Amino acid sequence: MEHTIAAISTPMGAGGIGIIRLSGETARAVADKVFRSVSGKTIEQASGYTALYGHIMKGERVVDEAVALVFAAPKSYTGEDVVELSCHGGAAVLRETLRLTLEAGARPAGAGEFTKRAFLNGKMELTQAEAVMDIIHAKGDQAARAAVAAHEGALAKRLNTMKDTLVNTAAWLAAWADFPEEEIPEVEPAALQERLAPVTKDIARLLATFDSGRIMREGVETAIVGCPNVGKSTLMNLLCGHESSIVTHIAGTTRDVVSEEILLGDLRLHLNDTAGIRETDDTVEQFGVQRAKDRLATAELIFAVFDGSRPLTDDDKELLTLCKDRKAVAVLNKSDLPRKTDEQVIRSYIPRVAVLSAKEGAGVDELQHHVEELLSLTDFDSDCGMLMNERQRDCAMQVQKCLQECEDALQMGLTLDAVGVSLDGALDALMELSGERVTEEVADQIFHQFCVGK
């Protein structure tokens, strides 16, 4: 029997309600020791999906007013008996209530233990369980949609289709090899290849979504760079909607890196406004310039800002060479003034140019559009099931590798035994991906990344 676990399942801080969650065979009995309903009915007596109103009691002292929600096994999140005690959301009250449940026989839940139990009890597949954490941490709409789709089983479903094909093919191979006297259609290499092709294709497609998915979840490290006075800080302030960086007409105003997190459309950007890059004798400014160059070197995305109202300078040109072949959008700023910059020169280094007036707030749509294209987010479909983490990606790559070996073996005319071995390898990796054949250690590792109470 699994021990009954308890945890505070809502964030610690002042809130309208806070929830203590209990799960396990004795969850109701434990809850009855700390909760007294107004009606006199006990939690043991309550049927699933009902609520009781009453109080958390320490002996005869009222700790808080509370509602107890009862979920009877197996129709609960974890598949076990679950009781949720909704108290007021104060840290002291929640801690005391938790302590009382522990004294009444529960033990503190480990990180992710509720969801781990749900997985072990067959309430959800591994990829759905993993998505719980992604839902909790999703910040943008797209990321949340992708996580919810995964939790609803979009990826699991996609993997199942692949698995069916692999299992059928492996069975066909095995039957033909093991029962030559039966009337089993001969296994032709071409027919095998044809069967495996859709799986190979879908694995490749899944792997291709990984980067855009990661960007949607985690956001992009973005550096705003350019010469002094081109309007970097004004752009920063425009994008984050408040005066984050100091803006003046004096060159060299921004000296340190100023960082902000913003949403550009659905995409999260970790924006870094930097000092203007130029040759300078000022020691402090030199440090700033070095930091700007460091950010430029490590950024995943670059906004290279130019002052469109004046011709390109040597410093501008040096910046252009630094941005060549990087993921960069050239921002041709100050579009409210007459244009004096040679756009063609810029384009020869940075093909994507957004014409913008940071001061007047015009042209952000164009910038957003360029960013989405640059990061291949325009055909991002968050509903179709995608790989959400490194573990899943590693497994998918293993599937791909094994399928490639199958293909090679068929091409080289190797025996069907050899093909069968690679096919089994692909199936193993696929089942590890879906969680059907996941080891205890891997499961533990996954759930440890959760926080307590989930």
Ligand X SMILES: Nc1nc2c(ncn2[C@@H]2O[C@H](COP(=O)(O)OP(=O)(O)O)[C@@H](O)[C@H]2O)c(=O)[nH]1
What are the E-state strand segments in 244-307? Answer: 258-264, 267-273, 301-307
Nearer to ligand X, 9 or 254 (CB): 254
SS3 217: helix
* Residues touching Mg ion, count (CB under 5 A): 3
The per-residue DSSP string of 121-148 comes to: TTSS-HHHHHHHHHHHH--SHHHHHHHH
Query: Which residue, judged by CB position, is nearest to Mg ion in the bound state?
Result: 254
Nearer to Mg ion, 142 or 254 (CB): 254
* Residues touching ligand X, count (CB under 6 A): 21
Binding of ligand X at residue 363 (CB under 6 A)?
no
Nearer to ligand X, 166 or 247 (CB): 247
SS3 391: helix
Binding ligand X (rule: CB under 6 A), the pick from 326, 359, 401, 437 is 359
Distance in angstroms (rounded) separating the CA atoms of residues 27 and 16: 24
- Under DSSP, the state recorded for 452 is B
Binding ligand X (rule: CB under 6 A), the pick from 200, 254, 341, 392 is 254
- Under DSSP, the state recorded for 37 is E
Stretch that binds ligand X, among 189-197, 207-215, 355-363, 382-390 (CB under 6 A): 355-363
Nearer to ligand X, 358 or 402 (CB): 358
31 neighbors 22 (Cβ within 8 angstroms): yes
Stretch that binds Mg ion, among 64-72, 128-136, 178-186, 225-233 (CB under 5 A): 225-233
Q: How many CB atoms lie within 10 A of CB 183?
A: 5
Distance in angstroms (rounded) separating the CA atoms of residues 233 and 248: 9
Distance in angstroms (rounded) separating the CA atoms of residues 196 and 201: 9
Please state the closest distance from residue 244 (CB atom) to Mg ion, in A.
11
Query: Segment 102-161, which members bind Mg ion (CB under 5 A)?
Result: none
Binding Mg ion (rule: CB under 5 A), the pick from 10, 76, 97, 233 is 233
Query: Segment 210-229, which members bind ligand X (CB under 6 A)?
Result: 226, 228-229
Binding of ligand X at residue 288 (CB under 6 A)?
no
Binding ligand X (rule: CB under 6 A), the pick from 151, 158, 163, 232 is 232
Q: How many CB atoms lie within 10 A of CB 421?
A: 15
Which of ligand X, Mg ion, none does 388 bind, CB closer than 5 to 8 A by kind?
A: none
Please state the closest distance from residue 236 (CB atom) to ligand X, in A.
8
Distance in angstroms (rounded) separating the CA atoms of residues 130 and 146: 12
CA nearest to 102, candidates 9, 7, 17, 2: 7
Binding of ligand X at residue 253 (CB under 6 A)?
yes
Binding Mg ion (rule: CB under 5 A), the pick from 86, 254, 272, 398 is 254
Q: How many CB atoms lie within 10 A of CB 266?
A: 18
Task: Supply 229's token pair.
Answer: 């006075």
Stretch that binds Mg ion, among 96-104, 157-165, 188-196, 227-235 (CB under 5 A): 227-235
Distance in angstroms (rounded) separating the CA atoms of residues 64 and 55: 6
Which residues contact ligand X (rule: CB under 6 A)?
226, 228-234, 247-249, 253-254, 276, 333-334, 336-337, 357-359
Which residues contact Mg ion (rule: CB under 5 A)?
232-233, 254
